Amino acid sequence: MSKRVLITGAASGFGRGVALGLARKGHDVIAGCQIWPQVWELRQAAKAEDLTLRIVKLDVLNEIDRANALTLEIDILFNNAGIMESGPMVEIPMSVFRSVFETNVFAALELAQGFARQMVRRGSGRIVWTSSVAGLVKVPFDGAYAASKHAVEGICSAMHEELKPYGVEVVTVNPGAYRTGFNDTGMESMDQWWGQGERVVEHWPVRELDKQHDPAEMIDAIIAVIEAERPPYRTVRPESAEAMVKREQDEVWKRGL
């Protein structure tokens, strides 16, 4: 059965892949992009495939864009927009840390709250959040992003239980390292501020991210979660990352100094 799905962060990465993939399968997709040039570019990509895909400007930090989005009646919200800022916790500027939470946590929660109200009144709906493997384990030198995704995990866990009695489903998808460019530029981001002041710890070791996976695997998994009649609460890919998460969480209980 065709679903009406709103996707945030649809200009690139998983959001773009899921938007195009769902449109190819005949779903009614509304793809939200942060800036107008991205709207135009994605429209051209959809037109090249003769896909029916509604593409709108949706900067999740923009209250006008959020208000416009919340006028839509949807079956599923794919809460996917996010940013990554790297750096050691003792050095990362608070303005940078706050920016990560503004996008990944606060703006995402505002949209989820708005659409959840709509869904509760209707008695049905689904909110799919892009969390991360980083929301389940420690990630040195990427603590701001990991902290934001740990917050997403806490929010989703609570919302899942709170909304279940009203017929509204809340689930997470937790990508590991995939070749979308998100991780590569996220690692690079600390270079913007690193030299602006005295530092007391070492820079994150620069290394090539040569063990990332094909994003098609994660895109297919997200589409399956959106289409499933009863999706699992958490979907971690790749499978090796799921095993790593369970192993590392177990090790935390045994951690010493």
Residue 66 pLDDT more than 70?
Answer: yes
pLDDT of 209 reads 86
Domain residue limits at 40: 4-252
Please list the residues that pair with 235 across neighbouring strands. 173
For position 147, which CATH number holds?
3.40.50.720
Confidence of residue 257 (pLDDT cuts 50, 70, 90): low
Rg (CA), the chain: 18
- Residues 100-151 have pLDDT tens digits of 999 999 999 999 999 999 999 999 999 999 999 999 999 999 999 999 999 9
Which stretches within 175-238 are classed as H helix? Answer: 182-188, 191-194, 215-227
**pTM, entire model:** 0.95
154 located within any domain: yes
Q: Is 139 helix (H, G, I), strand (E, B) or coil?
A: coil
Sheet of strand 76-79, all strands in order from the earlier edge strand to the far edge: 54-57, 28-33, 4-7, 76-79, 125-130, 168-175, 234-237
Residue 228 pLDDT more than 80?
Answer: yes
257 located within any domain: no
pLDDT of 94 reads 97
pLDDT of 256 reads 75
Rounded-to-integer distance, Cα 137 and Cα 139, Å? 6
94 located within any domain: yes
- Residues 67-91 have pLDDT tens digits of 999 999 999 999 999 999 999 999 9
Mean pLDDT across the chain: 96
158 located within any domain: yes
Count structural domains, the chain. 1
